[in-house]
Amino acid sequence: MAIAITVSSCATGGEDNWNSTAVGDDKSIGALDLRSVLLVTDAEGAPARILGTFENTTSRPIELTISDDDEETRLTVAGQGSIALDTTETLLRTSGDAPGARTTLMATTADGSVDLLVPVVDGTLDPYRPYLPD
């Protein structure tokens, strides 16, 4: 007796569904991969926590600066290492936009810069509630 199992999935890409799963922006700068970058905040202008993962595929450390219109934060990603911002708290004093919007962050290394168009989320989605800045 043979049993056939069919697995199907539904892709829901496109601009209209970006916040349905609140997946952040993905970009690379040289050997540094920026994965699922987003902001968690209570309100526009309130402190915001950056979430995402930064992965260094080289053996040398990479200095990374994340900035918005009025401030920046710096991180060092070890060679062949990664930084997961769910365990490394990284804050901006103010969010540029309210939850539900997308805002631009700039990521810069010695290899160049990229703009990240990141979702701004709040505690409405349970997985993000623990990451709201105090």
Instruction: Give the CATH architecture of domain 23-123.
Output: Sandwich (2.60)
The token pair at 92 is: 């901006």
- Give pLDDT tens digits for 78-94: 999 999 999 999 999 99
Mean pLDDT value across residues 67-82: 96
Burial 41-61 (b: 16+ CB within 10 A, else e): beebebbbbbbbbbbbeeeee
pTM of this structure? 0.82
- What pairs with residue 49 in β-bridges? 40, 91
- Give pLDDT tens digits for 34-52: 999 999 999 999 999 999 9
